[in-house]
Amino acid sequence: MKPQITVGVCVRNAQTTIGETIDSILMQDYGPERVEIIVVDGNSTDATLTIVRHLLSNARVRWSLYSDEGKGLGYARQSVVNHAQGEYIVFVDSDVVIRKDFLDEQIAFFNTHPRVGVALGRYMYRDGGGLLSSIWNLYLSAFPGFVGCAFSFRKDAITDADGFDEKITGAGEEVELIARIQSKAWESAVTDRAKFYHNHRWTVRNFLSEHTWFGYGGYYAALKDRHLLSLLRSLPPGQLLHGLRIAPKIYRSTRRKISFLTVPLLILGSIAWCFGFAQAATHRYGSRQ
């Protein structure tokens, strides 16, 4: 039987989280005979691939493993698309855990919304991972818009939009593709019943490194799409205002005092984002590709 769903996992040095990610995919209610898993590795130097091979070799699901050849996330995502046999492609980040009915809910949503080309799951909160992770998870679970990490696409919508931009070596490749999918008259949506959480294992250093990476990717998006308003929102003053608006809302819904630490964390992340943006500008990322 040809798989209906291709689950793509693009991974690099994620030995602390990849096991739970793979387990959550394997534990889906959706029939394993209708699922394939494609893992694309970004030259991991830790135990990531050993864990992946061990878990998948003992599973009742078709799977394959490829390398991104050092070309980055845009290339890795498109590698999944190029090899996918499924009608739907679900990307699950290597530090994400999806609830056991996630695939069922996404397929049900696509079946009742034929013009939706991309659907995100609903971020849910889970304790654990330390203070930084708890604060960030509270923030993302309350965020009303698109939160990445678990995107589901119709393969036809990706094809209509000419696929992922393989020049994007860092962050932002999914958002950039979604904008092109929407320009092709496909709709995007959040599937409230398809839930997942982000299994952060952060230190301050990890947090700063990740947001620096987001900023590096943000430069390419700004250079390509020239979305000045979204760029301004990413700067510390914009994040300060955003934090002051959303922190009280998070507190009212959770009654957790750490909700107010969202404000300094957003500013800290924004400073790191600006540093990454400046690095990309210095490297002329995107302008020579």
In the chain, the domains with their CATH numbers are 1-202 (3.90.550.10), 203-289 (no CATH)
Contact 60, 28 (CB under 8 A): no
Give me the pLDDT at residue 115, please. 96
pTM for the whole structure: 0.89
**CA atoms within 13 A of residue 190's CA, in its CB half-sphere:** 14
Q: What is the mean pLDDT of residues 84-109?
A: 95
Give me the pLDDT at residue 10, please. 95
Residue 198 has pLDDT above 90, yes or no: no
Least reliable range by pLDDT among 15-29, 89-103, 229-243 = 229-243
Tell me the Cα Rg of the chain. Answer: 18
Q: Tens digit of pLDDT for each residue in 154-197?
A: 999 999 999 999 988 777 888 889 989 999 999 999 898 999 98
Residue 285 has pLDDT above 90, yes or no: no
185: left (phi over 0), alpha (psi -120 to 50) or beta: left
Q: Which residues contact 29 (CB under 8 A, 6 or more apart)?
A: 100, 101, 103, 104
Mean pLDDT, the chain, rounded, equals: 88
Least reliable range by pLDDT among 21-30, 121-130, 171-180, 267-276 = 121-130
